[in-house]
Amino acid sequence: MDLALLRTFVTVHRAGSFTRAAALLGLSQPAVTSQIRALERQLGRPLFLRQARGVTPTSIGDELAHKAAPHLDALVEITEAGLDEDSSVRTLHLAGPPEFSAERALPALTALTRDDGHSIALRATFGTAEEVLEGLAAGHHDLAITTARPRGALLTATPLCDEEHVLVAAPRWAARVGSGTLHRDAAPSLEKFPVVEVHESLPLVTRYWAAVFDARPVASGTVVVPDLRAVLACVIAGAGLGVLPRYLCAAALERGEIVALLDPPVPPLRTYFLVVRTGTLALPHIARAHEWLLRAAVDWS
């Protein structure tokens, strides 16, 4: 069986679309369609069901993908490592949210870059949960950290840690909000208070209000920046109220640069997952990084 056809097949299976697979492979869509048809003729069975949007694998297609993908990934790993290079060094491609990756995952994994005899070289990519999972499924990453649990059998997710969210503000804003304004039994209006968020939809504030007050906030973003570290800096500078993960703002809370406006008995939590393509934990460098992060996460919660 032609390995090029298998590679195209696995890419289509992961991408869920001939069009996306063609873009990932640098081929035209007709070329991808032709290769899949050739493979189907060889096997005598259909591998995909064509849908209005993309394709869905048949049971034979799923079975072939689960058997072939790990071996193809291993071949790619050998190729990327290079036959003339030191075989003890493998490159791990990690993807995840920028703040969590920078503050927790990458510092934890740096120890593996100094492990004599089994060193790992790190390459990091930042992105949204959707971008990270799509890149992992397409084979661009080895290991992904995300707050979205993937569906289906192609990707395998393991809970990594929980992240507690805190409603915070600079001391001068905390004084203006007043200790009597926020109560767990009544959702406060934020209309008169500026809000700092990562997106216009106020995802963190909305999730906090739903968990603590069982309501939607009435507010709009005063400052919107797509990085939680920038949100923290703006809150410290007095730009307004914000919802931040405790690990990110714990030092600022301890220094008194910001104040927690509420201490609910059950704080809002968000779970991070460690995700790999099913079968790739058979590759030693991915397995070691996976295990290392799970051990490190014991001290993060």
218-271 confidence digits (pLDDT tens): 877 789 999 999 999 999 999 999 999 999 999 999 999 999 998 888 889 999
pLDDT digit string (tens) for 206-225?
999 999 988 888 877 789 99
The two structure tokens encoding residue 290: 């996976």
pLDDT of residue 79: 59
pLDDT on residue 141: 92
Cβ burial 10-42 (10 Å sphere, 16+ → b, else e): bbbbbbbbbebbbebbebeeeebbebbeebbee
Q: What's the token pair of residue 284? A: 């030693």
Could you say which residues of the chain have pLDDT below 70? Answer: 1, 76-88, 115-118, 178-189, 301
Q: What is the pLDDT of residue 189?
A: 67
Q: Measuring CA to CA, which residue among 142, 108, 164, 163 is closest to residue 274?
A: 142
Q: How far is CA 47 from CA 22, 55, 64, 126, 264, in A?
A: 17, 10, 9, 33, 52
SS (H, E, C) the chain: CCHHHHHHHHHHHHHCCHHHHHHHHCCCHHHHHHHHHHHHHHHCCCCEEECCCCEEECHHHHHHHHHHHHHHHHHHHHHHHCCCCCCCCEEEEEEECHHHHHHHHHHHHHHHHHCCCCCEEEEEEECCHHHHHHHHHCCCCCEEEECCCCCCCCEEEEEEEEEEEEEEECHHHHHHHCCCCCECCECCCCCCCCEEECCCCCHHHHHHHHHHHCCCCCCCEEEECCCHHHHHHHHHCCCCEEEEEHHHHHHHHHHCCCEECCCCCCCCEEEEEEEEECCHHHCHHHHHHHHHHHHHHCCCC
pLDDT at 51: 85
Give residue 83's pLDDT.
46
- In this predicted structure, what is the pLDDT of residue 229? 96
Residue 239 carries which side chain, given as an amino acid letter?
Answer: A
pLDDT (0 to 100) of residue 168:
95
Q: Name residue 22's amino acid.
A: A
Q: What is the pTM assigned to this prediction? A: 0.72
- Give the span between the Cα atoms of 48 and 171, in whole angstroms: 59
